[in-house]
C-alpha cells in the first residue's frame, strides 16, 4: 500500500485510538481499537445486505444498549458467512475488550472487513488486545486508517474545524474501501467523531441524512458488501450544544464535508480506476427517477469500459438512460460530457464531433450530465471507469 508520510488531521478530545499487527495479515497493521469517553454518543448505519456479517449483527444489537465505549475493528477477515461460530468468535473478541476495560461486552462494537467465508482466528485478536490498550492515544487516527484497509492503495482520512460563535468544534474521520462498492445503508467502513455536543436522536438524523448524500452515492462495481458500516461519534468535549439551529446546520455542513471527502476518496481509489466520474441527472419528475438513471449510467459495464478506453461512444449513455426504471421523454433529453453537448432534445448536437468527445473522455475527471427536462429533481452519483486492473485485482484477491 502506498502511503504519504503525513496526513493532517484534528485530534478529537474524548477519543483515543490504537492499531497493531495481530497476524491476520502478514506484517501489516490489521487490528484497531477506538475508545470513546464515558459521555459519548454513538450512531451507526450498516449494510442492507441480507447476508450481513456476524459483526454487523452484533453491533446492531449492542447499539441498543445504554452506551458504546469501544469499537474493535479488524481487517484481513470479514467474519461473514461463518454461521454460529463466526457469531461466537466476534462475541469472544468483545468480551476480551470488555474484560480489560471493566465493562459489559454490550459496550463493545465489533467490525470486520476482508475475505468472506473464512473462519475468524479470534485468538490472534484476543492476544493482541492488551497491546491495543497500551497504545491508545488521541493521535492514533492515521494508524487506524492504515489498519482497516484491504485492497486500498492509500489510506483515507479527512478532518475539519468549524467556528461557531466564540467556540470551535472539530470533526475527523477515516474510511476504507475501493471495491465491492455500492453501499446501501451505507467492502466499506468509516469511523467519524466530533467534539460537538449532539444528542443521540439528532446524531442519528445527521448520520442518516449525510450518509444518503455521500456514502450512498458512490459505486465502483455495483456490489454491496456484507460488512458495510459507518459510525458517527459525538464526545461533547467542546461544550458547544449543536442540537438546535443555527449550530445544528453548521455541524451538519462540517460532517457532510468530511464524509463527502471520504466518499470521493473511496471512488478515486476504486480498484483499477484510472478516472473519477460524476454522473449528474437533472430534471427528473421524482428523486427516484433521477437516482435510478444515475446509477444505471454509473454501473453500466459498457459505459465504464468506454470511459476507460476514452471512447466517446455516447450511444452507450443513451442505452444506460433508456434501460433505467424511470419516466423519460426521449424528445427532451440533453446529455453532456463536461461542458460538451453530445445530445440535445434526444438527438446528436449539431456541432458535436468525435474529436471533441475524445478530448473530454481522455480527462482524468469527467462529469456526465443527463438533463431529463421533466421536473425539479437532481441526483449525483460518483463512480469510476472499468479497467484491466480491476479484473486482475479481483481475480488475484485471495492469491
In the set 172, 187, 194, 219, the catalytic residue is: 187
Q: CA-based angle 308:314:317, to the nearest 5?
A: 85
CA torsion angle for 287, 290, 294, 297 (degrees, to 10)?
150
Does residue 316 sit in helix, strand or coil?
helix
Element of type H or E holding 343: strand 340-344
Q: How many whole angstroms separate alpha carbon 176 and alpha carbon 194?
A: 19
**Cβ distance 203 to 246 under 8 Å?**
no
Cα 190 to Cα 66, 137, 175, 292, distances in angstroms: 22, 19, 4, 25
Q: How many whole angstroms separate alpha carbon 199 and alpha carbon 245?
A: 14
**Cβ distance 165 to 239 under 8 Å?**
no
Q: How many whole angstroms separate alpha carbon 9 and alpha carbon 143?
A: 12
Beta-bridge mates of residue 173: 158, 192
Greatest Cα pair distance, the chain, in angstroms, is 72
Helices and strands (H, E) in the chain, number of each type: 11, 15
Q: How many whole angstroms separate alpha carbon 285 and alpha carbon 7?
A: 43
Backbone angles phi and psi of 67, in degrees to 5: -155, 160
Q: How many whole angstroms separate alpha carbon 394 and alpha carbon 243?
A: 44
Element of type H or E holding 150: none
> Which residues 6+ apart lie within 8 Å of 28 measured at CB?
21, 146
Beta-bridge mates of residue 111: 73
Q: How many whole angstroms separate alpha carbon 347 and alpha carbon 359?
A: 21
- Whether 187 is a known active-site residue: answer yes
Q: Quick count: other Cβ atoms within 10 Å of Cβ 194?
A: 32
Q: In what order do the strands lie in the sheet with 377-384?
A: 347-348, 340-344, 334-337, 365-371, 276-284, 377-384
Q: Which residues are catalytic?
A: 187
Amino acid at each position: 500500500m502506498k502511503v504519504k508520510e503525513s496526513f493532517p488531521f484534528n485530534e478529537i478530545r474524548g477519543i483515543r485510538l490504537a492499531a497493531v499487527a495481530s497476524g491476520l495479515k502478514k506484517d501489516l497493521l490489521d487490528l484497531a481499537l477506538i475508545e470513546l469517553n464515558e459521555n459519548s454518543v454513538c450512531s451507526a448505519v450498516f449494510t442492507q445486505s441480507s447476508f450481513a456479517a456476524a459483526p454487523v449483527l452484533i453491533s446492531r444489537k449492542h447499539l441498543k444498549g445504554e452506551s458504546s465505549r469501544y469499537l474493535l475493528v479488524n481487517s484481513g477477515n470479514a467474519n461473514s458467512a461463518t454461521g454460529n461460530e463466526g457469531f461466537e468468535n466476534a462475541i469472544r473478541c468483545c468480551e476480551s475488550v470488555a474484560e480489560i476495560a471493566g465493562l459489559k461486552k454490550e459496550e463493545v462494537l465489533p467490525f470486520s472487513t476482508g475475505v468472506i467465508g473464512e473462519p475468524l482466528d479470534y485468538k490472534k485478536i484476543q492476544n493482541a488486545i492488551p497491546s491495543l490498550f497500551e497504545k491508545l492515544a488521541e493521535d492514533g487516527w492515521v494508524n487506524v486508517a492504515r489498519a482497516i484497509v484491504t485492497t486500498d492503495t492509500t489510506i483515507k482520512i479527512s478532518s475539519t474545524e468549524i467556528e461557531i460563535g466564540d467556540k470551535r468544534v472539530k470533526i475527523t474521520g477515516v474510511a476504507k474501501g475501493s471495491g465491492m462498492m455500492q453501499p446501501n445503508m451505507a467492502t466499506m467502513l468509516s469511523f467519524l467523531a466530533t467534539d460537538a455536543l449532539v444528542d443521540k436522536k439528532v446524531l442519528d438524523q445527521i448520520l442518516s441524512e449525510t450518509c444518503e448524500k455521500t456514502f450512498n452515492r458512490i459505486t465502483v462495481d455495483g456490489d454491496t458488501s456484507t460488512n458495510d458500516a459507518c459510525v458517527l461519534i459525538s464526545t461533547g468535549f467542546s461544550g458547544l450544544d449543536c442540537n438546535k439551529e443555527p449550530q445544528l446546520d453548521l455541524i451538519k455542513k462540517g460532517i457532510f464535508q468530511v464524509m463527502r471527502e471520504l466518499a470521493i476518496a473511496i471512488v478515486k481509489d476504486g480498484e483499477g480506476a484510472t478516472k473519477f466520474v460524476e454522473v449528474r441527472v437533472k430534471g427528473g419528475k421524482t428523486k427516484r427517477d433521477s437516482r435510478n438513471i444515475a446509477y444505471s449510467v454509473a454501473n453500466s459495464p459498457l459505459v465504464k469500459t468506454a470511459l476507460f478506453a476514452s471512447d466517446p461512444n455516447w450511444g452507450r449513455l443513451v442505452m444506460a438512460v433508456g434501460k433505467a426504471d424511470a419516466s423519460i421523454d426521449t424528445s427532451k433529453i440533453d446529455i453532456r460530457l463536461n461542458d460538451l453537448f453530445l445530445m440535445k432534445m434526444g438527438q446528436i448536437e449539431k456541432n458535436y464531433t468525435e474529436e471533441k468527445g475524445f478530448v473530454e473522455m481522455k480527462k482524468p475527471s469527467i462529469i456526465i450530465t443527463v438533463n431529463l427536462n421533466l421536473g425539479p429533481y437532481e441526483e449525483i452519483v460518483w463512480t469510476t471507469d472499468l479497467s484491466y486492473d480491476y479484473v486482475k485485482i479481483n481475480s488475484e484477491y485471495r492469491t
